[in-house]
């Protein structure tokens, strides 16, 4: 049994939780984890490249919290850490399930609601310690006066690489909504039907069948439903001694029945664990990329850049005595605007904006006039200024929309990398199913 302790850790996504050491899992799954380790490194360099490259390129645009978050993600990749959140309503046996998986009673359990008052992370390490597995015990999502704790639990689940969603009977509307919310964030979920020993065989079969209804299959595949008994009810056992004269009845507590769940988790990790970690890290990077783009779009508002350039262009056109100079002025100002907006951000329609810049320059030259020393401002000059102003506005809005639409394009694209990794997973994988479901929605 390992030493027990508590400390504050970062889950790799900017979420902090209390951490306690757990116990190593059985060595029977060692080879599976070694296979996972080999597969994991197939994507690790790709993900590291995206994280480090993006951090260097956009260092000035990143906020301090975002920079720290990327550092945490790099650390998560380097430490090869898989975070598994145990999530659900109160009194479904979440902490008991964590204890059963770890093989020790590390977390407090009880009959009253809300025994777990904090998000607690337990190390679940194989003997080789080459891969770090973490079990995250969360608060119940329906605690009385526990809205804040429920929100923290939901946030912790969203940051995990895999979710064990624990129920203790027929699924409620609240549980369905919570699963839908998690899957909208592309969270892989195993549905754990716990406390099955409280039901008769018939009732258990009926509930299990109801979890495979057409409506619920939109959220959870039948292969992702596992039955467990994390904390079995004591059984009355009759003991007969060797002399066969004395008999005694005692209460005996059976061992937890979580082997199917444990095997399913390890099989899942072996099949697509590398992809789960990589995709979730990249989704966190994608959130950062979108936040950076949103700030940039706000910063480059029409008034902040287009208006000053338009004013300079208007004055220059009014002072220009020749048509060719009008064309040069309009083309130069449009080019400056385009380069200022694009900066280091990737775009997809660069050729369109080059043609628009050329068109603005040509149109300005055609509408201009050779006035020589005549400084008289005519209606034609004003029309030229108006047309070029419209052209500048169209160019600015078009480039900004292009940047927003291609947020994740370019060398350090997170979204493209996510698609690449998902396409390498088996067709029956959780990631593929989630990706297909999101595409349909």
Domain borders along the chain are: 6-294+427-440, 300-405
Q: For residues 296-317, give the mean pLDDT.
A: 80
Per-residue pLDDT, 28: 47
- Strand, helix or coil for residue 273: helix
Q: What percent of the chain has pLDDT over 90?
A: 16
Query: Structure pTM?
Result: 0.71
Mean pLDDT of 216-243: 82
The pLDDT, as a whole number, for residue 422 is 85
Question: Taking Cα atoms as reference points, which of 151, 138, 224, 220 lies closest to residue 183?
Answer: 220
Neighbours of 24 (CB within 10 A): 17
| Per-residue pLDDT, 17 | 45
Confidence (pLDDT) at 123: 87
Cα gap 385→161, rounded to integer Å: 56
What pLDDT, on the 0 to 100 scale, is given for residue 127?
A: 46
Q: Mean pLDDT throughout 338-346?
A: 80
| CA nearest to 206, candidates 214, 196, 221 | 196
The pLDDT value recorded for residue 145 is: 52
> pLDDT for 83-98, tens place per residue?
899 998 888 999 999 9
Q: Quote the distance between the C-alpha of residue 160 and its chain's center.
A: 8
More confident residue, 250 or 299: 299
pLDDT category, 12, cuts 50, 70, 90? very low
- Digit-coded pLDDT (tens) for 122-150: 888 744 455 678 898 888 887 645 566 66
Q: Which two tokens stand for residue 230?
A: 């994390």
Using the 8-state DSSP alphabet, how is residue 438 labeled? H
The model's pLDDT over 16-62, given as tens digits with 9 standing for 90+, comes to 444 444 444 444 445 544 544 444 455 778 888 889 988 998 888 89
Position with higher pLDDT, 307 vs 251:
307
Could you tell me which residues come within 8 angstroms of residue 151 by beta carbon, excluding any fewer than 6 positions away? none
For residue 177, pLDDT over 60 is answered with yes
Question: Which CATH fold topology does 6-294+427-440 show?
Answer: Rossmann fold (3.40.50)
DSSP reduced 3-state for 229:
strand
Is 412's pLDDT higher than 80? no
pLDDT score of 195: 95
> Is the Cβ–Cβ distance between 12 and 285 less than 8 Å?
no
pLDDT in tens, 237-279: 666 666 666 666 667 788 999 999 988 888 888 778 778 888 8
Quick one: which of 108, 170, 160 has its CA closest to 265? 160
- Amino acid 115: pLDDT: 46
* Average pLDDT over all residues of the chain: 78
Task: Among 245-249, 315-319, 395-399, name the one with the lowest average pLDDT.
Answer: 245-249
Alpha helices in 218-373 (DSSP H): 259-299, 307-319, 323-342, 350-367
């Amino acid at each position: 049994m390992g030493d027990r302790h508590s400390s504050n850790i970062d889950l790799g996504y900017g979420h902090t939780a209390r951490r306690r050491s757990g116990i190593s899992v059985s060595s029977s799954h060692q080879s599976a984890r070694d296979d996972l380790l080999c597969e994991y490194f197939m994507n690790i360099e790709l993900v590291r490249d995206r994280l480090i490259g993006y951090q260097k390129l956009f260092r000035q645009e990143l906020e301090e919290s975002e920079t720290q978050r990327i550092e945490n993600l790099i650390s998560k990749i380097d430490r090869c850490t898989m975070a598994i959140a145990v999530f659900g309503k109160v009194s479904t046996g979440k902490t008991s399930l964590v204890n059963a998986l770890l093989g020790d009673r590390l977390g407090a359990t009880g009959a009253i609601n809300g025994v777990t008052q904090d998000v607690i992370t337990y190390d679940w390490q194989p003997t080789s310690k080459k891969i770090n597995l973490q079990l995250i015990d969360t608060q119940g999502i329906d605690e009385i006066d526990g809205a804040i704790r429920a929100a923290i639990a939901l946030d912790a689940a969203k940051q995990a690489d895999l979710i064990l969603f624990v129920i203790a009977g027929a699924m409620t509307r609240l549980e369905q909504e919570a699963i839908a919310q998690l899957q909208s964030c592309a969270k892989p979920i195993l549905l754990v039907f716990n406390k099955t020993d409280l039901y008769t065989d018939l009732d258990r079969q009926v509930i299990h069948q109801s979890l495979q209804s057409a409506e619920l299959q939109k959220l959870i595949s039948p292969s992702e439903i596992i039955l467990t008994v994390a904390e079995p009810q004591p059984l009355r056992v009759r003991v007969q001694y060797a002399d066969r004269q004395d008999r005694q009845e005692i209460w005996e507590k059976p061992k937890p029945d979580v082997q199917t769940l444990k095997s399913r988790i390890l099989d899942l990790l072996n099949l697509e664990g590398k992809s789960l970690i990589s995709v979730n890290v990249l989704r966190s990077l994608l959130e950062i990329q979108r936040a950076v783009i949103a700030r940039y779009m706000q910063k480059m508002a029409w008034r902040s850049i287009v208006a000053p350039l338009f004013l300079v262009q208007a004055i220059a056109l009014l002072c220009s005595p020749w048509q060719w100079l009008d064309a040069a002025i309009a083309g130069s100002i449009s080019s400056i605007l385009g380069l200022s907006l694009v900066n280091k951000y990737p775009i997809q329609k660069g050729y369109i904006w080059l043609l628009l810049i050329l068109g603005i320059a040509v149109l300005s030259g055609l509408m201009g006039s050779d006035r020589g020393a005549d400084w008289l401002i005519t209606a034609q000059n004003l029309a030229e200024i108006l047309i070029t102003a419209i052209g500048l506005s169209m160019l600015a809005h078009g480039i900004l929309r292009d940047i927003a639409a291609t947020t994740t394009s370019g060398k350090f694209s997170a979204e493209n990398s996510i698609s690449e990794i998902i396409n390498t997973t088996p067709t029956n994988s959780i990631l593929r199913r989630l990706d297909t479901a999101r595409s349909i929605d």
